[in-house]
Amino acid sequence: MVIRVSKPEINLRDKLSQLELPVGPYGSSLMRSDDKMEVARIAGVGRKNMIRNGNFSVNQKASTFTNISSGHLFDGWYGHDSTNGAIAATIAEATPYPPECSKYIQIQSTGADNNLSSGQYVSLTCSIEGTYFQQAQWGTRHAKDLTLSFYHRHTLPGVYSGCVRNSAANINYIFEYTQEQADTWELAECIIIGEQTSSWTTGTGKAVNLNWSLGDETHTSDTPNKWFSGQYYHASTRQVNMLASTGNYFRMTGVQLEVGKGKTPFDNIGYEEMLAWCKRYYQQVGPASSSAMVMTGAGNGSQRIRGMHQLIPEMRAAPTVTHDTSSENPSFYAYYGGPPSYTSVNGFSSTTKNFHWDFNTGTHNQQGYAFDVKGSGAMVKATAEL
């Protein structure tokens, strides 16, 4: 005798939809996914944030910047102020702490300008290298929508704004967000529509400028959330002027730009990895204790010492190398005879992997003999920022 047993087919999706416990929107999205790539995107697998140092965990430079005009501030961030007022910037870590991160950038209005004139503006900017941004596939028919998210705590309530633009600064996308309640951490989430027709760098150069406005009367647009052409736009026409009075604060952290529509948890890749990422653009030797030896070289002729310093990790491009002796000149340790005194820089040359330094010194008779550069307040800075 033969017994045949059969079971009806079960549609798992239908059964799950009939459960009393509802499936949330992300669970539904996962169930509707057609391939592994879509599942990975929804789940947030791998490094997703294109913003370097978006949680302000790394700072290789000064603790505070005052009377900012134009220049790189903390790792990955650039400040500009062409107003008649003044701003100062620091990285803060104090209560009330923001969600997801402990540190944040704090920009204070230290000098008021309540009547900005033509061409004047104040802004905070980060730039994204093409190597990291190419995943967005902008400039092609495969261009992906992106989500920009960040936490903000400004003391002046109102509408704030910023702009996404290409390296040529001729294609722009204005975004807006609102500080609803003064001095309270709030979340901004902005969708940036993928751009299909313009040119976006995919190599080691700058692909994107991402700008936050703190006040602007000239480089503004009243058409947010759409792409438009034009040179150097910064803000919305509804942007508040943070420099209207002294004592106003702009605070921000948890800055994330990722593929897809909708914010996912902040991509905290860890301090060591973030530091290595930042060192791709900026490295610094010193300041250090006088008991430390920071560079090694040898006598060259009778009035010079020169050597090579390896850059770890390899930098984005051959850096510009400068010597900052504003607080103190370096001194030397001699392995033979007495050490000469430092007088000036003879020259620097660099590749992405190292830089050669050449210092002028007082007269010595140790040509070919080894010297160490001792730690001091002097700093050698290697910069390949975007």
DSSP codes joined into one string, 146-161? EEEEEEE--SS-EEEE
Residue intervals in the chain for CATH 2.60.40: 281-383
CB 295 within 8 A of CB 309: yes
Q: How far is CA 368 from CA 129, 339, 342, 357, 382, in A?
A: 42, 13, 17, 15, 26
What is the predicted pLDDT for the residue at 219? 94
Residue 369: pLDDT over 70: yes
Q: With b meaning 16 or more CB within 10 Å and e meaning fewer, what string describes 244-257?
A: beeebbbbbbbbbb
pLDDT digits (tens, 9 = 90+) for 220-231: 999 999 999 999
Q: Cα 320–322–325 angle (5° rounding)? A: 170
Average pLDDT over residues 128-155: 98
Distance, in Å, from the CA atom of 140 to the CA atom of 224, rounded to the nearest integer, reads 22
Q: What is the pLDDT of residue 12?
A: 66
Question: How confident is the model at residue 47, as a pLDDT?
Answer: 82
| Angstrom distance (rounded) from CA 128 to CA 201 | 10
- What's the pLDDT score for residue 138? 98
Pick the CATH number of 281-383 from 2.60.40, 1.10.3470, 2.30.30, 1.20.1740: 2.60.40
The residue type found at 288 is: A
The segment(s) of the chain belonging to CATH 2.60.120.260 are: 64-278
- The Cα 321–Cα 355 span in angstroms is 8
Q: Where are the beta strands (DSSP E) in 84-194?
A: 86-92, 104-111, 121-129, 146-152, 158-166, 171-179, 186-192
pLDDT band at 11; cut points 50, 70, 90? confident
Q: How many CA atoms lie within 13 A of 116 on its CB side?
A: 23
Looking at 40-49, 101-110, 192-201, 269-278, which range is the least confident one? 40-49
Q: Rounded to whole angstroms, how far apart are CA atoms 381 and 267?
A: 29
Backbone angles phi, psi at 17, to 5 degrees: -70, -20
d(CA 123, CA 77): 11
Of all residues in the chain, the percent with pLDDT exceeding 70 is 89
User: Which of 287, 288, 271 has the alpha carbon at shortest distance from 279?
Assistant: 271
Q: In angstroms, how far is CA 289 from the centroid of its own chain?
A: 29
Residue indicated by tokens 């087919």:
9
Q: Residue-wise over 350-383: b if at least 16 C-beta within 10 A, else e?
A: bebebbebebebeebebeeeebbbbbbebbbbbe
3-state secondary structure of 16: helix
Sheet holding 320-324, edge to edge: 282-285, 379-383, 320-324
CA–CA distance, 211 with 73 (Å, rounded to integer): 14
* Tens digit of each residue's pLDDT (9 = 90 or more) over 298-337: 999 999 999 999 999 999 999 999 999 999 999 999 999 9
Most confident of 11-20, 31-40, 42-51, 212-221: 212-221
318 CB-side CA count, 13 A: 6
Strand partners, 350: 355
Contact 214, 87 (CB under 8 A): yes
Tell which CATH architecture fits domain 64-278. Sandwich (2.60)
Quickly tell me which residue has 């505070």 as its tokens. Answer: 64
What are the tokens at 207?
């692909």
Q: What is the mean pLDDT of the chain?
A: 93
Residue 136: is its pLDDT beyond 80? yes
| pTM score above 0.85 | yes
Distance CA 379, CA 322 (A): 8
- Tens digits of residue pLDDT in 44-87: 666 899 999 999 999 999 999 999 999 999 999 999 999 999 99
Backbone angles phi and psi of 272, in degrees to 5: -60, -45
Provide the pLDDT confidence category of residue 377 given band limits of 50, 70 and 90. very high
Query: For residue 131, what is the enclosing H or E element?
Result: helix 130-133
Structure tokens at 149: 């998210």
